[in-house]
Amino acid sequence: MENRAFLEMDPEWVRRPHNVNVNNNSIEVITESGTDLWQRTYYGFTNDNAPVFQAKTDEKYFSFIVKTKFESKNRFDQCGVAMYLDSDNWFKASIEYENENYQRLGSVVTNNGYSDWATTDISSGIKEMWYRFSRRESDFCIECGTDGKTFRQMRIFHMFAGSGTINFGIYAASPTIGSFRATFTDMIVTECQWKPDAEWKQ
C-alpha cells in the first residue's frame, strides 16, 4: 500500500461543526460546548453528538498517522482519532483535559452500545500529540508519540462490527462548557505499521 494523504480519501463529516477550516493537509476545528461521544457504562447516560471527520475504506491492513495540537482549557476538552461506525460501535483516542495540573491520555472502545475508558495521567503542559491508528482485519492498535517517529502502544482492541468496510479519521469535542481550537496536521495513511509478533504465534 502506497502512502496516501488522508484528505485525498474524500473524508466526510458526521455532524459537521459550525466553525471548521480544511486547508491542504490541515484541519482546524473550534469545538462546541456539550459535544461528546459516550455510551451508557457507569454514568448511565449516552452522548452521541461530537463531530467526526472520517474516510471510508475496506482495506484490511493499514495505519493512519496524525498530529494533534490543542488549546484545551475546560474539563474533558478532547481531540484525537476516531473510528465511528454507528452510535453503538466506535472508538476514540485523545487527551482529555482535567485541570491545570494533569490531563488524561486515553481511549474509549464502544462495542454493542457500551463504552470503556482506559487512561493514564500526563502533564497539562502537553499541548501536542501524535497518534498512529492501525488495522489488522477486525483488530486494531492505537499508539501515541511526541515526535511523529517513535510511537508507544496505548492499547490493542477488537471491534465486533469492524470486519468489513470501516470509517476512520479525527474528532474534537467539549463535553462541558466553552470551546477550544484543535488543529490536525501531517495526516497520512500508510501500509500497516503494526506488525505480527512471531513469538506469540508459537
pLDDT digits (tens, 9 = 90+) for 87-141: 999 999 999 999 999 999 999 999 999 999 999 999 999 999 999 999 999 999 9
* 96 touches 76 (CB < 8 A): yes
What's the pLDDT at 198? 57
- Residue 123 C-alpha cell reads as 502533564
* 98 touches 124 (CB < 8 A): yes
What's the per-residue H, E or C state across the chain?
A: CCCEEHHHHCCEEECCCCEEEEECCEEEEECCECCCEEECCCCCCEEECCCEEEEEECCCEEEEEEEEEECCCCCCCEEEEEEEEECCEEEEEEEEECCCCEEEEEEEEEECCEECCEEEEEECCCCEEEEEEEEECCEEEEEEECCCCCCEEEEEEECCCCCCCEEEEEEEEECCCCCCEEEEEEEEEECCCCCCCHHHHC
pLDDT digits (tens, 9 = 90+) for 19-68: 999 998 899 999 999 999 999 987 777 999 999 999 999 999 999 999 99
What's the pLDDT at 132? 98
What's the pLDDT at 76? 96
Query: Which range, of 37-51, 77-91, 153-167, 182-196, averages the lowest pLDDT?
Result: 37-51
CATH no., domain 4-196: 2.60.120.200
pLDDT band of 151, cuts 50, 70, 90: very high
**2 or 115, which is more confident:** 115
Q: Is 54 left (phi over 0), alpha (psi -120 to 50) or beta?
A: beta
